[in-house]
Amino acid sequence: MENLKQAYETLGLSEDASKEEVEKRYMTLIRQAKAREMREENEENESDFNFEKINRAYKFILNADNQQVLDEMTANKYGKYKKMAGAAEKTDHFFHYYKFHLLGALILLVLIGYGVKSYMDNQAEKAELAKLPPIDVHVMYHGQFFLADQNNDMKLAEEQLLALFPDWKRIKADLTYVPKETRSEMDMASIQKAMLNIITERADVYVFDKNTFTQLAAQGLLIPLDEKVKGPWKEQLQPDQLMTSRTNEDTEDHVYGIDVSRSKLVDMPPKSDEYIVGIRADTERKDQSYEFIGRLLEKP
């Protein structure tokens, strides 16, 4: 790691990020690395995710922060000793040398502690998930959606969605916030996180705003819905609800999304001014995904 700026860039943070933000971002990357390792064991895919580089950047930032604190303390100390300043400085240098090693050891212990905690949390989460019924459909809200709950808890959304399907046992719902306009570094970080989530979090049904639908439909993320809109859904749809797009591989227009902004979703969290649903092309729950959209198209 050559410099501090590169270290922050490696973690996807700005140079004015707080220590708390650095810690939080590092733990997020650890969890993503664990998840990626599990998927690669099953799918035998090679990842370009460089965890060693992330780890070096994290240590570099912490060491730089600790060194800055120590330098400021040293600079402020010696004035009060006057004639004894030389002796005080030598004494401080002696303790500073061993203190630096101690800090390094403490940082290592913290990293080990975080690693152990992450592993234990992961095991506990697996145990809790094992108790739950299988997922009938996984819904991802991807766009400028807002929750009243500042913790981004989607439990209420899951409960209200599940109420529409009496025969289903479980709906998983997640939220990836994507700002429509990039006005700050935080907005840019949200966009970068959203791109990563598209790769790592493979939902079945996506709920977009128009901005994110336009971007992702063109990238071939979604399955064409032409047969459904011309068949079983035809009588329930208005022409302005059909959201078409082209991809790099197919230059013809196809329906990849349905505007359900007048559906039951409007009364549920999370909130937005636009609701467009589409189905991920590689979903393993295609029938349930079709059923999910079909239910939203039913008249109240």
Contacts of 62 (CB under 8 A, 6+ apart): 19, 22, 107
174 and 293 share a domain? yes
268 and 229 share a domain? yes
227 and 120 share a domain? no
pTM above 0.85, yes or no: no
Q: What's the distance, Cα to Cα, between the start and end of the chain in Å?
A: 59
CB 207, CB 175: distance < 8 Å = no
Which of 75, 104, 130 finishes a domain?
130
217 and 257 share a domain? yes
- What span, in angstroms and rounded, lies between the C-alpha atoms of 274 and 132? 32
Query: What does the DSSP assignment read for 8-47?
Result: HHHHT--TT--HHHHHHHHHHHHHHHHHHHHHHHHH----
Which of 95, 130, 165 finishes a domain?
130
Which of 109, 130, 151 finishes a domain?
130
Q: Strand runs (DSSP E) across the chain, as ranges?
A: 137-143, 171-177, 205-208, 242-245, 254-259, 276-279
- CATH number of domain containing 155: 3.40.190.10
Burial class of residue 234 (count of CB atoms within 10 Å of its CB; 0-12, 13-18, 19+): exposed
Provide the domain limits for residue 56. Answer: 4-130
Contacts of 224 (CB under 8 A, 6+ apart): 254, 255, 256
157 and 90 share a domain? no
Predicted confidence (pLDDT) per residue in 83-133, tens digit: 444 455 555 555 556 666 777 788 888 888 888 887 787 777 667 766 789
Predicted confidence (pLDDT) per residue in 249-271, tens digit: 888 999 999 999 999 999 999 99
173 and 283 share a domain? yes
| Tokens read off for 264 | 């039951």
Low-confidence ranges of the chain (pLDDT < 70): 1-2, 34, 37, 39-50, 69-100, 125-126, 129-130, 150-151, 300
- What span, in angstroms and rounded, lies between the C-alpha atoms of 74 and 91? 11
pLDDT number for residue 84: 47
143 and 289 share a domain? yes
64 and 20 share a domain? yes
Look at the chain and report how many structural domains it folds into. 2
